[in-house]
Amino acid sequence: MENPGEIAVKLEKVQEAEADEMWSFVREKANQRWLWHAIDHANGTTLAYVFGTHEDSALITLKERLTAFGIQKFYTDDWGAYTRHLPNQAHEVGKINTQKIERKHLTLRTRIKRLARKTICFSKLEKMHDIVIGIFINRYEFRVSV
């Protein structure tokens, strides 16, 4: 590879995706931080993620990051932001089709102590919280073969 700073990425079209959000906290449980996450429904590959609050703006940002994939169908839980920002014909609510992303969130909780619900390991800054979790996701989900 001549210039390691330049990596060509080829995006495959994704027919169906699972989306979900996962709660964590920074410094204290009252200061909630949410990981909004989308995966390919067919193979469980992570497509995109966003850190933010449990508000519509985080989902809007995630949706923008997913536009290049041309997703035709989203599977989610019953959180209101999904019904407000995903078209009815492209959105299906229910736990039966979100099992892969729920499993992925459980894996993240067991591997990253900052995401465990009862822990003595927590972040003191939102920036560090996002960096630590982001590095883990980027390392294990977006491996680049050279």
CB atoms < 10 A from the CB of 67, how many? 9
What is the domain partition of the chain in residue ranges?
16-140
13-17, 23-27, 69-73, 93-97: least confident range: 23-27
Beta strands in 1-146 (DSSP E): 16-26, 28-40, 46-52, 73-76, 91-93
Give the pLDDT confidence of 35-89 residue by residue, as tens digits.
999 999 999 999 999 999 999 999 999 999 999 999 999 999 999 999 999 999 9
Q: pTM of the predicted model, to two decimals?
A: 0.83
Domain topology for 16-140:
Nucleotidyltransferase; domain 5 (3.30.420)
